[in-house]
Copies of this chain bind each other. A is one copy, B any other.
Amino acid sequence: MVDMLPKLFFVHFQKTSFVAERDAELVGFLVGFLSPAEQDVAYVHFVGVSPAERGNGLGRELYERFFELARAGGRTRVSCVTSPLNTGSVAFHTAIGFEASPPQAGYDGPGEDRVVLNRNI
């Protein structure tokens, strides 16, 4: 996870990222940004929910907050990618309205296949 989240994301994308806490403990977070190149798109780089908190709607709530913020920034689509091996992630995103592409071979480099997920907002 450290590889995917160098500090730059927290420094530079803090206005479009947030954390969820319960009893002052971190239980979830979402890191995203408004795409500078694709003016209709907001991109979610990473979402995490503590195992003990899964299944109670926290992931959905993190996304809903991000959708609001993306709409406020003039965006009409939210995009993200996940590994095709992460079937829990694909199922979660599909359940909250994302459309999943077929796996894209080598999307993030050799051996790094990805499912591309898109949802209109």
Contact = CB atoms under 8 A, between A and B. Distances in A.
From DSSP, what is the main secondary structure of chain A's interface residues? loop
A33 to B, nearest CB: 6
Interface stretch (A34-42, A47-55, A59-67): A34-42
A109 interface: yes
Copies of this subunit: 2
Categorize the interface residue count of chain A: 20 to 34
A73 B93 CA distance: 35
Contacts of A34: 36
A86 to B, nearest CB: 15
Interface of A: 2-8, 11-16, 33-38, 41, 43, 45, 81, 107-110, 112, 114
